[in-house]
Each structure stands twice: as C-alpha cells, then as structure tokens.
Amino acid sequence: MLPKLKNLLFFLVFLISAVFSSSSYHPLDPLTPSELNQTQTLINNYFSSPPQNVSFHYVGLDEPEKSHVLSWQSSSRNQQIPSRRAFAIVRVNSRSREIIVNLLNNSIISDKFYNGYGYPLLNYAEQLAAGNLTLSYPPFIASIRRRNLNLKEVVCLSFTVGWYGEIKSSRVVKVMCYYLNGTVNFYMRPIEGIATTVDLDRMKIVAFRDRVVTPVPKAEGTNYRFNSSVQGLVKQVGPGFTLDGHVVRWANWELHVSFDMRAGLMISLASIYDQEKGKYRSVMYRGFISELFVPYMDLTEEWYYRTFFDVGEYGFGLSTVTLEPLKDCPENATFMDGYITSQDGTSALMPNIICIFESYAGDIMWRHTEFGIPGQEIQEVRPEVSLVVRMVAAVGNYDYIVDWEFKESGSIKVKVGLTGLLLVRGTIYTNKDQIREEVYGPILAENTIGANHDHFINFNLDLDVDGVANSFIKNKLQTVRVLGNTSPRRSYWRVNSQTAKTESDARIQLGSGTTELLVVNPNKKTRVGNFVGYRLVPGVIAGPLLSDDDYPQIRGKFTKYNMWVTPYNKAEKWVAGLYTDQSHGDDGLPIWSLRNRNIENKDIVLWYTLGFHHVPCQEDFPIMPTLSGSFELRPTNFFEHNPVLKPSQYATDSANLSESGQ
C-alpha cells in the first residue's frame, strides 16, 4: 500500500472513531493509545525524508485554553469539545524539537528547535542502553571481578548529573550499579566507588572511574516480597478487632479506650507487637485533648470576650454526641457508651459516643515497582488498613470530629475535623463594596459577617517509647558550605541532633521546616546503634497572632509554642489550668514549665498544639464542610526494619475470602 494512501485511511479511521466517541471525552483527558500512535506516525513521517534519527522524549496532551474548557463546562458539556492536540518533545540529530500535532485534521501545526540550556526527559530505552553498555565495558567487568562479585547479579541504572556552572555540556548520565544476589531490593545493595559516564546522544562511555572498594551491604533483611497469592483488594469483613471491655486488640496493636467528661476520648496504654522481638512494646501511656482554645477577633462590645476554652470551660466530654451508624461511622463500626455526672450527682448515660472501626479507604501502605532487573518486572503493594477510634463533640456551634488512627506500620495519626456552624455577626451591609470600616471578618451573605478566629487544640501525649525513661531530641537540618575543591557541589545539608536537657530547651515554634521532633529511649538501641524512638510529624502549623500581653493570650499562653515537654506529673493534666473559667493564666503549662526541670532520660510528656487560623468564606455558610488537620506519631528506628513486610492477617483473610468467592 502506498504511504499516502495508508496515511489517508489511518486518518479516516481515526476521524470516524473520534466522531462516534466524542461524547465520552473530556477536554483534559490524557491522550488515548490511538492518539499517541497517531502522533508517532505523523512525526516519523515528517522526518522520513530525508531519513533522520528521531528520539521521542515526551508526548502528551496540548491542553486547550482555559477559557475554552470553562466554556465547555458551563454549557453542561453540550458544546463541541475543544480541539484535541498533542505536544511532543523529540531529539532529532542530537537537537531538541518541540512539535504540536492537530489530532483532528492529522497535521503538524508547529515545529521549533529548542536552543536553550538543558535537555528533555530521559527515555527508558536510552537509560537501559547506558546500563547495558556499562555491563559490557571491560574495565567495569574487571572492577566487579576485583570485588569478587557475580556480574550476572549486577544491575546498573542511569542518573542525571545536574549542573555545576559549566557553560556548555554534553547530554550525559552517570551509571551507578547495584547487587542482587539474594534480594530484589537492590537499592539496599549499592556497589560503591564505581562511576561510568555515558554520552546518550552518541551512546558511548566517555569516562570511567573506580575510586575505592567498599563492602556491599548484605542482602539479609532487605527483601520486601511475600506470597503474591494474598495480594488483591482488601474487603471490610467484620469488625476486624476484638473488644474486651475497654481494651482493643487489632493487628499488632493493643490499647485502652475510655471516656472523660472533660477530655472526652482518651487513649491509654497503646503498645505494638514486635514480631521480631516476640513481645508488645510500649508507645504511649496516655493521649487526649487537654484544651481547645478558640479566640475570636471581633472587638465589638458583644464579641470581644468570645475567647473560648472548650475543654476547661464547657467540657469536651460533656459536649460529646451520640454517633449515627452509617453516617458518623461505617457499617463495620462497634460503638461504646459513656457516662457523665448530672447536676444532682446522678449519672447519665451518653449512648454510642465512641465508635471503633477498621478502615480501608484505598490508601497504599507501601509499594514498589521495579524495572531495573533485566527481563523482569516486579511489583509489590500493601494496602493501608488502619484502626480508627472516633468521637464527636458539639461545643456550641462547632462540631469537632476527633480520630485516633492506628496503623500497622506503627504510626498513630491523630486528626481533628472542624465542622458545624460559624459564629456570625449581623451587619447593615449587604455587599463587600459597601464596607468602609473594620468589621473583623468577611461578609458571607447579606447582613452576615463571619468573624475571624482561631482554633488551638492541645494534646497531652505521654509517650513511653519502649519504656518510661525517654529523651526529647531536636533534629535541625543545617545547610553546610563545601570548602575547597573537594566536590563540584557547593553545599549540602546535614542533621544536627540536640538532646533537650531542660524544659526550656524543648519549647518549639514550628514553621521553618528545618526541625524534626523525636522522643527516644536513650537506654535502648537498635542492632546498628540507633536509639529507638518515635517522631512527631506536624501537619497544620499555626501559632498565636495575639500580642503576649493580650488577656486571652495570657490565659492561652500555651499556644506560644507548638511543642512543650515536661517531666511527668500526675497533677499536671490540663494545659490551661484545672480551673479555666475566668482564670488569670496563673496555672497551667506555662507556669509549670518555669521550673525548667530536667527532662533528659526521664518520664516525659509532650504537649503539642494543632492550630488553625480560620478566615471564614462563603462555602462555610450556612454550615461548614469539614476542615481537617492532623499530626502523626511515627516510629523512627523503633523497629529493626519495616515491620509490615508481610501482609497483615486481615489482608490475608480478606484475600482468601475474595479468592473463594465469599
């Protein structure tokens, strides 16, 4: 068949298919396989006379103008879809070309050279070729033999080289190699000291260096694979945990769940089973919300005093509500009741105020796909199944959803969701353009101002990491300048660890992004010498914007720092003081901490404040969609290796049920 006739038929087939399937398209859909093939054919034909060496490095949708997409959307998708175009970056005779293809009329509408610095994406074929070139390079083979390694177990990968001030450069990669021999996780087994430089356009080794012989890390303990027959979709079957009174046992966790009429939900004695050590290891003795400070920014006479302490003034537990099955909690949830003391001293039942359920939301616990082993493609995935303990407190207008989520990896994620109703103020204004004075918040609807305000939720976290005696470490990431000519690089960063000796050393204002917060057991180390520990990973970060001498801030001074650490004291439980209503700020964490007690290798308590600055918007009116913030307590050298290499029993049982058709 003549090339022109072939291309014409190809175009007609594509055009017919496009017409019949246009209704299923979205203007921002990625290119379909047929569109990608069409682009390739057009470009190859374009450079076929005279024949040229074409290397594709990117082909993707050339997105329509935003106005066109929005117009299409606003027309209830009745308009014709904007023109479909492909954007391609190719290398032709060692030069980069940018090509735009009109897929509807089967034509190239733009072709231009790129003459600036830099090169396009590496494609897989040239990376593979560079690795194979290295594996067949005699000096490299000699280096492998000198290390007494089996060449058949060596895997080589290409790495981009960056830029270090040179005016002109070649399109090269560095090839680094790794060793299999007992594991598919070759990244844990680098062959150090050997570097090969490959020019990709010429596909030629232009430099080779064997600098030093370093032992290859062992394969033992690096494998992450398990029986592939248990892989697949995890079904939520049954509760997945056992409840013995208030003790919950799930997967590798054991914890105690209770209710307090001031604090609400309390988690105690959380420990995790270490399969390698064959025992449960303590993580947290107690965790609960100690205070919730909500100062509003409206200074009018009826508003200036609205600076609430929801735990100490109203009782978070007293504000707890009955949870609705299938709405507040999924169908596999188990509920717990609570009790409070009434005004006359009699007890009152608060039914179904805590729910516990196993959660699988389609998240991934860990995964890896490996293409680096010649002739193999390896993929291993673990679904994220977790245990959630939930309560909801409706403190006046706001509903607070509190989740303690326990993960098989050893992490504890704590999340607070804010929903319910805003506090709004009536106003004479019906439109923002009318406002010529300070109104302390945005207009949300006619005659309605939403007051700016804060939410500061303080958590009392008595961590007992593998024992009671712990220390608090601040890991600061510091930029280091490279001196002399020791490296083409000019800087790098390293970790500077500082152990807090006293309470004043442990006060942290977050926001710089340069600090890691760890609790370690200085009396216990891993086999390779690291202190076992947990780190606190902040989520939403907010600090007070009120002046230190403002009265609400004096009472809520605990918000001045995101993190405080104190030695454990049974009496020191409520961060804003035991008697919070109309308090003067003369009791609570800032006062206790003035003693500047020793906290190194002690039974210590973390006080972490999760904060929100809330500028209301119209979507918060009339009821606010949930706004969430969280933090995570994450094991850091607590285990000898990843504790969830094997699928959990729950995942295994679910997969077996799926295979059996149940």
CATH number at residue 509: 2.70.98.20
Quick one: pLDDT at residue 584? Answer: 93
Q: How far apart are CA 566 and CA 577, in angstroms?
A: 15
User: In terms of domains, do 297 and 179 share one?
Assistant: no
Buried b (16+ CB within 10 A) or exposed e, 529-554: eebbbbbbebebbbbbebeeeeebbb
Give residue-wise pLDDT tens across range 417-429.
Answer: 999 999 998 999 9
User: In terms of domains, do 95 and 133 share one?
Assistant: no
User: In terms of domains, do 494 and 571 share one?
Assistant: yes
- Give, in order, the Cα–Cα distances in Å from 319 to each of 160, 338, 391, 530, 629: 57, 12, 10, 44, 20
Residue 118 falls inside a structural domain:
no
User: In terms of domains, do 389 and 497 share one?
Assistant: yes
Q: Token pair 């054919």 is at which residue?
A: 41
Between strands 253-260 and 247-250, the pairing is antiparallel
Give the active site residue among 62, 260, 298, 310.
310
Annotated catalytic residue 400:
no
Residue 105 burial (C-beta neighbours within 10 Å; 0-12, 13-18, 19+): exposed
Annotated catalytic residue 328:
no
User: In terms of domains, do 573 and 647 share one?
Assistant: yes
Q: End of a domain among 113, 134, 166?
A: 113
Q: How far apart are CA 654 and CA 230, in angstroms?
A: 8
User: In terms of domains, do 155 and 106 share one?
Assistant: no
Domain count, the chain: 3
Residue 102 falls inside a structural domain:
yes
Q: Is the pLDDT of residue 31 over 90?
A: no
H/E segment holding residue 36:
helix 33-46
Quick one: pLDDT at residue 237? Answer: 53
Q: How far apart are CA 152 and CA 239, in angstroms?
A: 48
Residue 360 falls inside a structural domain:
no
User: In terms of domains, do 48 and 191 share one?
Assistant: no
Q: Is the pLDDT of residue 655 over 90?
A: no
Residue 258 falls inside a structural domain:
no
Residue 270 falls inside a structural domain:
no
Q: Is the pLDDT of residue 649 over 60?
A: no
Give residue-wise pLDDT tens across range 508-518.
Answer: 999 866 689 99
Using 50, 70 and 90 to split pLDDT, how confident is the model at 278? very high
User: In terms of domains, do 65 and 202 share one?
Assistant: no
Degrees, nearest 5: CA angle 531-535-541 = 155
Quick one: pLDDT at residue 658? Answer: 34
Q: Is the pLDDT of residue 180 over 60?
A: yes
Q: Which of 47-56, 94-103, 125-134, 383-392 is predicted least confidently?
A: 47-56
Q: How far apart are CA 309 and CA 319, in angstroms?
A: 13
Q: HEC profile for 237-278?
A: CCCCCEEECCEEEECCEEEEEEEECCCEEEEEEEEEEECCCC
* % of the chain surpassing 70 pLDDT: 91
User: In terms of domains, do 612 and 553 share one?
Assistant: yes
CATH number at residue 29: 3.10.450.40
Q: Which domain holds residue 149?
A: 124-210
Give residue-wise pLDDT tens across range 436-470.
Answer: 999 999 999 989 999 999 999 999 999 999 999 99
Residue 374 falls inside a structural domain:
no
User: In terms of domains, do 101 and 29 share one?
Assistant: yes
Quick one: pLDDT at residue 350? Answer: 92
β-sheet bridge partners, residue 354: 336, 391
Q: Is the pLDDT of residue 374 over 50?
A: yes
Give the active site residue among 398, 400, 440, 561.
398
Between strands 347-359 and 54-61, the pairing is unpaired
User: In terms of domains, do 87 and 152 share one?
Assistant: no
Residue 570 burial (C-beta neighbours within 10 Å; 0-12, 13-18, 19+): exposed
User: In terms of domains, do 484 and 553 share one?
Assistant: yes
Q: End of a domain among 113, 133, 161?
A: 113
Residue 504 falls inside a structural domain:
yes
Q: End of a domain among 183, 210, 237?
A: 210
Q: Average model confidence (pLDDT) for the chain?
A: 89
Residue 272 falls inside a structural domain:
no
Give residue-wise pLDDT tens across range 345-372.
Answer: 888 899 999 999 999 988 999 898 888 8
